[in-house]
Amino acid sequence: MRENWKSRKGFIFAAAGAAIGLGNLWRFPFQAYKNGGGAFLLPYFVALITCAIPLMIMEYAYGRKIRGGSVKAFSKLKKKLEIVGWIQVMVPIIVMTYYSAIIAVAVVFMVFSLGHAFGIINWLSDPGPIMGMVTGSAKNALDLGAGMSIYILIAVIVVWICNWLIVKKGISGGIEKMSMIFTPLLMVLMIIFMINAVRLKGSAIGLEALFKPDFSKILVPSIWVSAYAQVFFSTTLAVGVMIAYGSYLDDKADIVNSAIITVLANSSFDLIAGVLVFSTLGYLVSNMGVEFTSFGTGAGVAFIAFPIAISTMSTNVVIQGLLGFLFFFCLFIAGLSSSISMLESFTTAALDKFDVSREKLVSIISIVGFCGSACFASYAGFNYILDIVDAYVGNIVIAGLGLAEVILVSYIYGTSKLREEANAYSDFKVGIWWDYLLKYFTPLLLGAVVITNLFNIITELLKKDTAGVVSNIVFGWGTVIIMIIASFVFYKKKWTAKAQEVAPTLNDKKVNL
């Protein structure tokens, strides 16, 4: 018998934890900053209503109806479409390999923060040298002999052990229990840090830079594409996570409200992160005379700017260290809640098709995943290859899968049937407008995102030197090709799971979904 979530609250916390991740901390603030500030919020909220919420409802409803992950979900539409499901769950596996390396840096900095508290190492006021020591340096992505970060490698082991311990216990025994504790804790800690950041001298400068609207940009098409891309990617849609989570919902679960709460929780974290990041940067701009982008628009914000800001919160070394530990613990929680959802996405899909125990399967995936993460613990891997793989998987594969998913489910299964099932036990009902969004509006917007991203990657590739071109072909397109080949191999294997020895399609009259 298929496992179910024990409570709605547990499911919401798990789904919100899956959507909330390290990327929220810097991606939304800098997307808003460069795309019109407060004016960016209009297309952002429109994207939430017209894309994120409808797709979240669709994935929850279809996952519950199928009672399976992405592989089973697409094979039910049409047998040959099973390969789409495998490509979809390959995404979180690939993402986990480098995402775990980023979480590992948070683990390392947690330890260093405790060292700071006990007077062993004084680094929070000047984190640059420590960051350099941990991540090292390389000439380019092809400089594979540059070295390996022993700090990241050891911390990656810790991250994968945590993933393994939680996911092998299943939905109610592992993921739900962990999410009930860590997701609300993460929100509380981030709100505390946000409130403190707003109180810093110069925070108003940062908030003005983030939220002051530049309405001259609001009619620029690229701004709307950026807003949809931000909402789409930050909610963990189209990678099998929410379909898998939806498959464990009770038959009488309120799908519509659950979807709305999940999306709004994620967007709330986006806004909290925006206020936190730019209040902190405003302080640094005011007191150090640097630019808002001096610390980069990625991990540099969390690993360089925040330690400096934390060091100013108190002159007491012990308090500084403990605050640093709490902050990097927040990052660790955010990363871990997302990584376990990625691991569960593939696990659910594989358990649907193959006769294997959850513990054995999770153990195998964790070992393979750790080997992949070890590659990103190299100096070339962390500093160069990570960004290349992330760009190709995020901008080409995920966007393409989102487009394919909404078209295939909407036109083969049918939005009207799915709407009836989603509304059946929901307090808030979606109307026929939901059908039109999924059939016409959302595919057009996602199509624009896919085309824009593909165009940008190709044009950027043409500007690179020889090493850059080779790196992008090997690690970018190479990763995409490996994902497709691996998906085809799994697709060709026979269904051996006892509950699903044959994967009949929706057109098979013997199937009772």
Domain segments of the chain as ranges: 8-496
Q: How far is CA 160 from the centre of its chain?
A: 17
Mean pLDDT of 336-351: 93
Judge contact between 422 and 60, C-beta under 8 A.
yes
**The pLDDT of residue 441 is above 70:** yes
Angstrom distances, CA of residue 238 to CA of 53, 81, 90, 99: 13, 15, 11, 18
> Over 60: is that where the pLDDT of 8 sits?
yes
| Burial readout 338-357 (b: 16 or more C-beta within 10 A, e: otherwise) | bbbbbbbbbbbbbbbbbeee
Query: Angle formed by the axes of helices 317-353 and 82-117, to 10°?
Result: 160
Confidence of residue 230 (pLDDT cuts 50, 70, 90): confident
- Which residues partner with 280 through β-bridges? none
What confidence tier does 496 reach under pLDDT thresholds 50, 70, 90? very high
The confidence band for 416, taking pLDDT boundaries of 50, 70 and 90, is very high
- Tens of pLDDT along 467-479? 999 999 999 999 9
pLDDT-above-90 percentage for the chain: 69
For 77-92, the pLDDT digits (tens) are 999 999 999 999 999 9
Half-sphere exposure of 395 (CA within 13 A, CB side): 18
Residue 165, pLDDT > 60, answer yes
Q: Look at residue 94 and tell me whether its pLDDT is greater than 70.
A: yes
Average pLDDT for the chain? 91
Overall average pLDDT of the 422-446 stretch: 92
Contact 314, 82 (CB under 8 A): no
| Per-residue pLDDT at 1 exceeds 80 | no
At the topology level of CATH, where does 8-496 sit? Amino acid/polyamine transporter I (1.20.1740)
Judge contact between 152 and 134, C-beta under 8 A.
Answer: yes
What pLDDT band is residue 506 in, cutting at 50, 70 and 90? low
pLDDT of the residue at 499: 55
Convert the pLDDT of each residue in 288-329 to its tens digit. Answer: 888 888 888 888 888 998 899 888 888 999 999 999 999 999
* pLDDT score, position 385: 96
Residue range 493-499: average pLDDT?
85
Could you tell me which of 369, 338, 356 has the C-alpha nearest to residue 241? 338
Structure tokens at 336: 């871990």
127-158 pLDDT tens trace: 999 999 999 999 999 999 999 999 999 999 99
Asked if 277 contacts 31 with a C-beta cutoff of 8 angstroms, the reply is: no
Distance between start and end Cα atoms, the chain: 15
pLDDT at 172: 77
User: Residue 208 in 3-state DSSP?
Assistant: helix
Mean pLDDT of 163-167: 94
Report CA dihedral (200, 202, 205, 210) to the nearest 10 degrees: -30
> What digits encode the pLDDT tens for the residues 246-286?
999 999 999 999 999 999 999 999 999 999 999 999 999 99
